[in-house]
């Protein structure tokens, strides 16, 4: 395939699609180098500037990465996160990663006004506050902060969460089968504390999520999560609008 000069699609976008196809056809894998800008320019009869625009686009999309002085390489594919009421453990296992969790904070605190309003409980009511660093194959992926009313999971603090899923404990030990939920996801930038935990530069892009999950109409968990945007992408199936 060649660049079509008569196409209304900008040349750098055409080159992006050609390069992505070529990477698959040539059987390139993660960390393999792609041809230099000069080679690509000669191969597709394009200016260096156009080729650079394409590479910039692919780098910003997370498909390629540059190493100064060395070249441009194929990046690891991002992990697809389905928009479903699944646990981190389920999501990672479904994608062939080994899920992990490191406890950062676990304590019982009085619900703040915000937490109480969001969970429909009394302000000041005790909630388990759990902060965890979530890992996939030992690589830090997300910082998750959960609030769970003590009234519905009284001795949750006595269960270890390393090596065990929170949702599994809620279901098996407290009979709290999560049956509905809602989630908002926003683009954000990583603050200094989370950047340190995630091994990112301060100000790196992240996906900020807030989730409320319910069991039989009662709010079980109010969670805020910070996911690395360089390793995650959201995925959803689209059904016709009803
Ligand atoms: C997801 C949700 C969190 C929830 C977690 C439970 O990541 N965003 O709100 O706390 O799953 O995961 P696990 O059951 O693996 O501990």
ipTM: 0.99
CB-defined site of ligand 1, < 6 Å = 87-89, 99, 144, 146, 165-168, 211, 221, 223, 225
The predicted pLDDT at position 2 comes to 85
The CATH class that applies to domain 79-235 reads alpha beta
Q: 11-74: which CATH architecture?
A: Orthogonal Bundle (1.10)
| pLDDT of 90 higher than 90 | yes
Distance 132 CA to ligand 1 centre (A): 10
Structure confidence by residue, pLDDT tens digits, 125-149? 999 999 999 999 999 999 999 999 9
Distance 82 CA to ligand 1 centre (A): 13
The predicted pLDDT at position 163 comes to 83
Q: Please provide the DSSP assignment of the chain as one string.
A: ----TT-SS-HHHHHHHHHHHHHHHTT--TTPBPPPHHHHHHHHT--HHHHHHHHHHHHHTTSEEEETTTEEEEPPPPEEEESSS--HHHHHHHTT--EEEEEEEEEEEEPPHHHHHHHTS-TT-EEEEEEEEEEETTEEEEEEEEEEETTTSTTGGGS--TTS-HHHHHHHHH-----EEEEEEEEEE--HHHHHHHT--TT-EEEEEEEEEEETTEEEEEEEEEEETTTEEEE---PPP-
């Amino acid at each position: 395939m060649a660049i079509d000069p008569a196409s209304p699609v900008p040349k750098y976008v055409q080159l992006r699609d050609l390069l992505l196809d070529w990477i698959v056809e040539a059987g390139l894998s993660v960390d393999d180098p792609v041809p230099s800008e000069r080679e690509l320019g000669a191969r597709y009869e394009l200016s260096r500037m156009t080729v650079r625009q394409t590479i910039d686009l692919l780098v910003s999309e997370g498909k390629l990465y540059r190493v100064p002085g060395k070249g441009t390489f194929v990046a690891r594919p991002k992990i697809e996160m389905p928009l479903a009421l699944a646990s981190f453990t389920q999501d990672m296992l479904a994608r062939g990663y080994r899920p992990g969790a490191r406890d950062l904070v676990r304590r019982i605190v009085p619900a703040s006004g915000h937490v109480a309003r969001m969970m429909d409980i009394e302000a000041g009511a005790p909630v388990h506050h759990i902060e965890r660093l979530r890992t996939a194959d030992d690589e830090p992926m997300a910082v998750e902060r959960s609030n769970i009313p003590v009234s519905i999971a009284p001795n949750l603090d006595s269960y270890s969460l390393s090596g065990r899923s929170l949702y599994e404990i809620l279901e098996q030990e407290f009979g709290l089968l999560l049956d509905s939920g809602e989630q908002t996801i926003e683009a954000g930038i990583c603050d200094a504390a989370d950047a340190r935990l995630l091994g990112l530069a301060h100000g790196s892009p992240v996906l900020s999520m807030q989730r409320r999950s319910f069991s039989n109409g009662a709010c079980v968990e109010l969670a805020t999560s910070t996911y690395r945007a360089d390793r995650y992408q959201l995925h959803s199936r689209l059904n016709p609008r009803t």
